[in-house]
A and B are shown apart, each in its own frame.
Chain A
Amino acid sequence: MTEVKTSPAAAPAAAGPSAGTGTRRAARVKEAATGWLFVLPFAVLLIAFLLLPMAYAFKISLYRSTLIEGEVFAWFDNYKQAIDDPLVREGVVRVLIFGLLQTPVMIGLALVAALLIDAATSRFSRFFRLAAFVPYAVPVVIGTLMWGFLYSDSVGPFAWTGIDFTSTGTVLASLGNIVTWQWAGYNMIVLYAALQGLPRETYESARIDGASEVQIALRIKTPMISSALVLATLFTIMGTLQFFTEPLILQPLNPGAITTHYTPNIYAYQQAFSFQQYNYSAAISFLLGAVVFVGSYIFLFATRKRSALQ
């Protein structure tokens, strides 16, 4: 499930004194109508492409249909089955491990890169900024296919290492590498933009106080962009829990290592489109959506002091 964060349709009509004459009330109504008109395009899209499909998915997740016996209402049986399903659990544990390892590495890389190009002001930094961002511009499917070739043990440039990049032991790291390659540049740009918004005078006073560039980077710049860091990390966590495209594309290379229950999302997809278990798939998807929501919330709660999102 794609989580879209929506601030409660920012009601522009709330301002202004409440009591009023007829004309003032009319003006307020008009103002409110204008506000709703602005929100309307978004609301229509939200309802058509998120809320309605979600409601439909929830509805079918309460049914159970079998090839022979047709469809019956089953209350929360599918959810019970999903919670008890060891394959679902295996996938959840895998994405959690993946997220715990990959997120800090990628955010760390992005931060280091952002600090470096913020410190440098040469033409080289502009080139570096663009180069680091390019992978993000490559569609995920293409990027993954490309890495599939790079990992190849017959035509890949790393074949000489003798490492099998798609074996059970290495494939999670190989996938992590792809995700980092794809997203580190994007996160770097987010952090770099935040750095650009900081007042330069602070650095001057720090330098006068005798702070080195490293100290400025770690003790001044980094804490000051903590809300951007939190945001980047939050998006990464959400993306990780929905891990799907990269393992699905690499699956043909070694289906023994990347199984059809590799991540909860892949499992749900397989259930629906390969095994005709649409109801079960909907239940898994809904549970996953709940986990993403709760996971994001916990993270935001834990970092609320730094996130400026109290």
Chain B
Amino acid sequence: MAAVAATALALTGCSSGGDDKPAEKPTGTVTVKVWAWYPEFKAVVDQFNATHTDVKIEWTNAGTGQDQYTKLQTALKAGKGAPDVVMLELQEIPTFALTKHLVDLGKYGANDVKGDYAGWAWSQVSSGDQVYAIPVDAGPMAMMYRDDIFKKYNLTVPTTWDEYKAQAEKLKAASGGKSFMTDFGANDGGFMTGLFWQAGAKPYAYDIANPSSIGVNVNSAEAKKVFEYWEGMVNNGLADTTAFHTTDFYNGLGSEKYATYLAAGWGPGYIQANAGGAAGKWKVAPLPQWTAGANAQGDWGGSSFAVTDQAQYPDIAAKVAIEIFGAKNTEAWKIGIDKAFLFPTVTPVLESDAFTGKTYDFFGGQKVNEVFVPAYSAIGELDWSPFNSYNFNQLTTNLGQAIEKKTSWTAALDTAQENIKTYATQQGFKVQ
């Protein structure tokens, strides 16, 4: 079945010239194929095409997240059918870099724009002078909360996870169990990793410059602390476990089922599109802290543009990747910020008054970036492994089963750790 599908894709996949021949100087307008799934991306493409005569973007939405990666892996494996420029989430970059399918953008001037990005964000896409992708948006986490529910039940906005739990208990009692403090979807490894990140966990130690060696520490004390906390929240009926990104989940956000949503910078865009009913009732506060007064932050998702080895003119493709959401492209960012709720990684845009001072109707006129921008700046560095799909799958499968069978969450982490180590060894990595 799988092989048949792969062959069929290879047979029908459209070519964009995957040969290793040196790029000749093209004549006329060059078409660059781009895969991306941002909401409202069409307007950005139109704007880019209207302002460029030498290069034209041909955009395809090949699905969100894993759906797109599956297609991309197939096309890369087949040797044809991949786009020139592709949207990759930050955690996926080592996976595609390891198999040498990403063009080193450092050769095409990417290091010239390094200064436009925060250190942690640039380190996510590069190794030394090698640049595998250009970061576009990030997912600094914050706590979105329903102001109306908080007022109705006299809840105070929590600043620590202890307070958060206390408010959750108050909410459960006051609402008669009708409202949960939040939803802990076990189907998103990025969400869990964001919370681990905030708690200071470092699940992997990996540098693409030394590709065959990896440290795996998925079940660290910090990660276990996070899981123990949430296991308690779920078992005490304070947090729901409906899967994220489902109808029931968005419905819960739109109704009074969930009082808070531990969201990333890009989250509001998706909520607005899927649960617009509660517009104006939401507000944003910083993510609760493990220690009172601390400023530890985590990132959930975020994306970048990479150039694949199937790009016919890697230099032109690199130019597109760098420019499309570059610091100078304020027009694209106007669309990205106003319509798609993208959270920019590029510092000049991020720090502009237009961004920090922007009021959002969805949040009742709150200037939410006053919360998200400091959170973004406080994010620490984190390595991803070159087999992230497997790792996220281990997290979601084992936690999902622990929730279903009401078994220990920390034991699920131990299982994930063992399986990931086995997988890494099987794949030829030296595991530390």
Contacts and interface: CB of A to CB of B under 8 A. Distances in A.
Interface of A: 1-2, 49-50, 52-54, 56-57, 60, 66-69, 148-149, 152-155, 167-168, 242, 244, 252-257, 259-260, 265, 268-276, 278, 281-282, 285, 288
7 nearest A-B residue pairs (beta carbon) = A256-B400, A68-B428, A57-B3, A69-B428, A66-B428, A272-B2, A273-B70
Contacts of A167: 404
A255 B396 contact: yes
Contact of A60 (B3, B98, B399, B401): B3
Interface string B371-406: 000000000000000110110010011011111110
B243 A268 contact: no
Given A256-B186, A275-B387, 8 more contacts: A68-B211, A68-B427, A149-B247, A168-B405, A253-B243, A253-B248, A259-B400, A285-B3
Contacts of A50: 4
Nearest to A57: B3
9 contacts: A50-B4, A53-B3, A254-B243, A259-B401, A273-B70, A275-B387, A275-B389, A276-B387, A285-B1
Contact of B397 (A49, A260, A278): A260
A269 B1 contact: yes
**Interface majority SS on B: helix, strand, loop or mixed?**
helix
Contacts of A270: 393
Interface size class of B (residues with CB under 8 A): 35 or more
Contact of B404 (A54, A256, A265, A275): A256
B6 interface: yes
Interface in B392-432: 393, 396-397, 399-405, 423, 426-429
Nearest to B403: A256
Given A269-B1, A270-B393, A282-B3, A66 B427 contact: yes
Contacts of A288: 1
B251 interface: yes
- Which of A153, A276, A281 has the largest count of B CB atoms less than 10 A from its CB? A276
A281 B1 CA distance: 9
B236 interface: no
Contacts of B243: 252-255
Nearest to A288: B1
A273 B69 CA distance: 8
B173 to A, nearest CB: 22
B251 A154 contact: yes
Contact of A254 (B400, B423, B429): B400
Nearest to A61: B3
A257 to B, nearest CB: 6
Contacts of B403: 256
Interface in B236-254: 243, 245-248, 251-252
- Which of A67, A149, A152, A257 has the largest count of B CB atoms less than 10 A from its CB? A67
Contacts of B245: 252
Nearest to A284: B2
B53 interface: no
B248 A154 contact: yes
A254 B257 CA distance: 19
A262 B322 CA distance: 41
A275 B2 contact: no
B248 A57 contact: no
B60 interface: no
A256 B3 contact: no
A60 B99 CA distance: 18
A60 B243 CA distance: 36
B387 A67 contact: yes
B389 A256 contact: no
B74 A273 contact: yes
B2 A278 contact: yes
Contacts of B70: 273-274
Nearest to A256: B400
B73 A276 contact: yes
B66 interface: yes
Nearest to B69: A274
A2 B1 CA distance: 7
- Which of B74, B187, B248, B389 has the largest count of A CB atoms less than 10 A from its CB? B248
B386 A255 contact: no
A265 B66 CA distance: 18
Given A242-B1, A255-B187, A275 B400 contact: no
B160 interface: no
A153 B252 CA distance: 10
A285 B400 contact: no
Contact of B99 (A1, A67, A260, A273): A67
A1 B1 contact: yes
B2 A252 contact: no
A265 B426 CA distance: 22
B132 to A, nearest CB: 16
Nearest to B426: A66
A256 B393 contact: no
Given A257-B404, A273-B70, A53 B4 contact: yes
A56 B401 contact: no
Interface in B253-288: 255, 257
A2 B251 CA distance: 39
Contacts of A56: 3, 7
B77 interface: yes
Nearest to B73: A273
A272 B284 CA distance: 41
Nearest to A69: B428
Interface string B63-74: 000100110011
Nearest to B250: A154
B279 to A, nearest CB: 19
Contacts of A275: 387, 389-390, 393, 423
A67 B6 contact: no
Contacts of B428: 66-69
A159 B75 CA distance: 42
A148 B247 CA distance: 9
B159 to A, nearest CB: 31
A244 B2 CA distance: 12
A155 B4 contact: no
Contacts of A53: 3-4, 7-8
Interface in B1-36: 1-4, 6-8
A2 B396 contact: no
A257 B402 CA distance: 10
Contact of A153 (B4, B98, B248, B402): B248
B300 to A, nearest CB: 17
Contacts of A154: 247-248, 251-252, 255, 257
